[in-house]
């Protein structure tokens, strides 16, 4: 069976995966853009977004590993876009333009149905209204022998953590304090859920941690 992974999810030093007051203009909330300084300058990030150049080294190694062997993604509706409640129409097509960086099926958790959205490069967004287990089942069917990556946001990752479904999590900790926003570990007792943390690895712009789940 394929693994369920989190890769490259960044939190602040005080544990927030996004700052307060998220909006169309500030999708990561106030000061949240500082979370991803470790990522946006890497060669991997620039390449998947159609650019050239970029830094190499530890941060780029972790960024590249995040796309290796991934056959499907799961994300929350807030990661797909800023629209809440019912879809007013189908004009919102994501933050990424017509060629999103996924290039595999992406399963979006939502309470409101919407037809699948096919994009360039092989990305197809499927909108799942019957919960995290249904999304995981569909993602695993689509991924085959490859892994499924949970992209976020924090609330979506918390649900899969609480259910002990995540096999491994790569967290990047950015050297900033947000004070409020979406806290990744709110209400979770990770040791009680069977999760353990390996030794950290320092990059140029962040510190990387691998958290794994003990066998059931």
- For the stretch 143-201, pLDDT in tens is 999 999 999 899 999 999 999 999 999 999 999 999 999 999 999 999 999 999 999 99
CB atoms within 10 A of CB 76: 20
For residue 25, being part of any structural domain is answered with no
For residue 193, being part of any structural domain is answered with yes
pLDDT single digits (tens) 71-121: 999 999 999 999 889 999 999 999 999 999 999 999 999 999 999 999 999
**What is d(CA 60, CA 56) in angstroms, rounded to the nearest whole number?**
5
For residue 92, being part of any structural domain is answered with no
For residue 13, being part of any structural domain is answered with yes
Q: What is the pLDDT of residue 216?
A: 56
Domain of residue 66, CATH code:
3.40.430.10
For residue 10, being part of any structural domain is answered with yes
Q: What is the pLDDT of residue 23?
A: 85
Mean pLDDT in residue range 109-134: 97
| Domain region containing 119 | 4-20+35-82+99-213
Mean pLDDT in residue range 197-216: 92
Residue 129 reports pLDDT greater than 80: yes
Lowest-confidence segment of 20-24, 60-64, 181-185 by average pLDDT: 20-24
Q: What is the pLDDT of residue 147?
A: 98
Q: What is the pLDDT of residue 24?
A: 84
For residue 167, being part of any structural domain is answered with yes
Mean pLDDT in residue range 118-141: 98
Of 64, 83, 87, the C-alpha closest to 24 is: 83
Task: Say how many domains are in the chain.
Answer: 1
Residue 53 reports pLDDT greater than 70: yes
Of 95, 92, 96, 119, the C-alpha closest to 25 is: 95
For residue 198, being part of any structural domain is answered with yes
**What is d(CA 134, CA 130) in angstroms, rounded to the nearest whole number?**
6
For residue 30, being part of any structural domain is answered with no
Residue 1 reports pLDDT greater than 80: no
């Amino acid at each position: 069976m394929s693994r369920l992974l989190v890769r490259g999810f960044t939190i602040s030093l005080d544990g927030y995966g996004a700052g307060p007051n998220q909006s169309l203009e500030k999708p990561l909330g106030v000061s949240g853009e500082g979370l991803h300084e470790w990522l946006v300058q890497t060669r991997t990030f620039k390449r998947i977004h159609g650019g050239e150049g970029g830094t190499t080294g530890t941060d780029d190694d972790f960024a590249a590993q995040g796309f290796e062997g991934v056959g499907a993604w799961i994300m929350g509706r807030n990661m797909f876009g800023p629209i809440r409640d019912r879809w007013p129409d189908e004009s919102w097509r994501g933050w990424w333009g017509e060629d999103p960086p996924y290039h595999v099926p992406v399963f979006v958790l939502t309470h409101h149905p919407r037809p699948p959205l096919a994009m360039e490069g092989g990305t197809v967004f499927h909108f799942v209204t019957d919960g995290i287990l249904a999304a995981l089942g569909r993602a695993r069917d689509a991924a085959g022998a490859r892994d499924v990556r949970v992209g976020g946001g924090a609330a979506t990752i918390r649900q899969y953590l609480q259910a002990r479904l995540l096999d491994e999590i790569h967290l990047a900790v950015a050297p900033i304090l947000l004070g409020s926003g979406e806290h990744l570990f709110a209400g979770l007792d990770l040791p009680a859920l069977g999760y353990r943390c390996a030794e950290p690895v320092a990059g140029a712009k962040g510190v990387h941690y691998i958290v794994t789940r003990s066998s059931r």
